[in-house]
Amino acid sequence: MFPATKRGPMIEACQRRYASNPARGHCDTASQRLRSLNIHRTIVFATNYLPGKLKSQWLQFVICLSAAAALLTGCASPRAYVKAIQDPYYVLTPHSRLAVVIDENGSVQEKQLGTFLAARLRTQGFNVVSGSDSKFTLMYGIAENSSTTALWLNAYRTADLGGEQTKIIWRGYISVGANEFQKDPAGVVRTLLTYFGQEFRGSVPLVRHP
């Protein structure tokens, strides 16, 4: 129903840069490193690999949800606003071969976030592999303003990346108070991944422990 497109230069560049950088180390170790995460700018590097129209639509989506979530979360709230959307034609299961894109040119903190994402997915039983072996590719980004920090995840069919019909098969978004994210970024990641491959929308407590 959604035919694969011929691989273009985007997916080739993506796989050359990121496929050789799988997550290493135990999830708890990655969690400890991630606690020192300190992000001062908007990170949306993954959108560089998307067609212009889709990039514009996704950035509008993040901005609108950030504004809405700010009303729900507050700066010091231990709760988060989560939105997860799953394409009904695809199913993400622990058997799905999944790659996490980690930006080799990103900051240490950005790499730690990607490493923790991959490690956490493994802890949840997912089959995380290198980009060239994957069926699905997970990209991530962070956006923040003065009051909230938002983390988004997009899952794509690897074969579609670089084509004209790049389709998000699952998207997840979580927004918390900026101070709360600085205190426990690992908890924010764990909370969002609770809904990986599912449909959900609402305010939830942060998952504080592994």
* Percentage of residues in the chain having pLDDT higher than 90: 47
**In which domain, by residue range, is 67 found?**
9-123+149-170+184-203
User: Are 123 and 30 within 8 A, CB to CB?
Assistant: no
The answer on pLDDT for 105 being more than 90 is no
User: Counting Cβ atoms within 10 Å, is residue 88 exposed (0-12), middle (13-18) or buried (19+)?
Assistant: exposed
* Percentage of residues in the chain having pLDDT higher than 70: 63
Q: Assess if residue 115 is contained within a domain.
A: yes
Q: Assess if residue 95 is contained within a domain.
A: yes
CA dihedral over 120, 156, 45, 100, signed as positive or negative: positive
| This prediction's pTM | 0.66
Number of domains, the chain = 1
pLDDT digits (tens, 9 = 90+) for 163-189: 878 889 999 999 999 999 989 999 999
How far is the CA of 70 from the CAs of 13, 137, 178, in angstroms? 36, 29, 10
Measured in whole angstroms, how far is the alpha carbon of residue 82 from the centre of its chain?
13
Q: Assess if residue 83 is contained within a domain.
A: yes
pLDDT digits (tens, 9 = 90+) for 42-92: 334 444 555 555 555 555 555 555 555 555 444 444 799 999 999 999 999
First to last CA, the chain: 38
